[in-house]
């Protein structure tokens, strides 16, 4: 009879531990999803500043306010493309250079505020697409 009570008690303790672990996992997962959504929202308006511009390329500075590395994988637009992927270390500014394929058309769109570029940005293990008006 004592072994039945002991087994029942151990089973009850195991059930309580399993329930506590499940509750903790659900809470952690919920917080993680909220953080990812918050990161995505904050990346919608990246702080791009022009560093230099020539007829063949334009270099931008991007501030990384996160304690994670930002990767700029690709940038596309009507008259621009990313020269090479860039890595921006945590809590620092970094640069990336766009190759301009048609300077006069690019300049015309930029002056009329109609030049939109799409950035593919990686942050931690997540990739985000962000559209920016130049």
Give the model's pLDDT for residue 14: 79
pLDDT tens, N- to C-terminus, the chain (134 residues): 577 777 777 777 777 787 777 777 777 767 766 766 666 666 666 778 888 888 899 999 988 888 889 899 999 999 999 999 999 998 899 999 999 999 899 889 888 988 888 999 988 788 888 888 87
Q: What are phi and psi of 55, to 5 degrees?
A: -70, -20
Say how far apart CA 95 and CA 50 lie, in whole Å. Answer: 9
Give the model's pLDDT for residue 81: 92
CATH fold for the domain made of 44-133: Immunoglobulin-like (2.60.40)
92-123: pLDDT as tens digits: 999 999 999 998 998 898 889 888 889 999 88
Token pair belonging to 63: 């501030």
The overall pTM is greater than 0.75 = no
Token pair belonging to 89: 């270390």
DSSP letter string, the chain? -HHHHHHHHHHHHHHHHHHHHHHHHHHHHHHHHHHHHHHHHHTTS--EEEEEE-SSEEEEEEE--SSS-EEEEEEE-SSEEESS-EEE-TTSEEEEEEEES-HHHHHHHHHTT--EEEEEEEETTEEEEEEEE-
Token pair belonging to 118: 């799409």
Give the model's pLDDT for residue 96: 93
């Amino acid at each position: 009879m004592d072994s039945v009570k002991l087994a029942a008690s151990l089973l009850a303790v195991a059930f309580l531990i399993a329930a506590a672990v499940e509750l903790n996992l659900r809470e952690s997962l919920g917080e993680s999803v909220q953080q990812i959504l918050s990161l995505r929202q904050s990346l919608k308006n990246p702080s791009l500043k022009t560093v230099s511009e020539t007829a063949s390329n334009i270099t931008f500075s991007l501030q990384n306010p996160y304690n994670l590395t930002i990767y700029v994988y690709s940038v596309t637009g009507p008259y621009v493309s990313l020269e090479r992927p860039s890595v921006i270390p945590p809590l620092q500014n970094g640069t990336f250079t766009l190759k301009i394929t048609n300077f006069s058309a690019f300049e015309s769109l930029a002056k009329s505020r109609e030049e939109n570029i799409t950035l593919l940005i990686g942050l931690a293990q997540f990739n985000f697409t962000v559209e920016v008006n130049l």
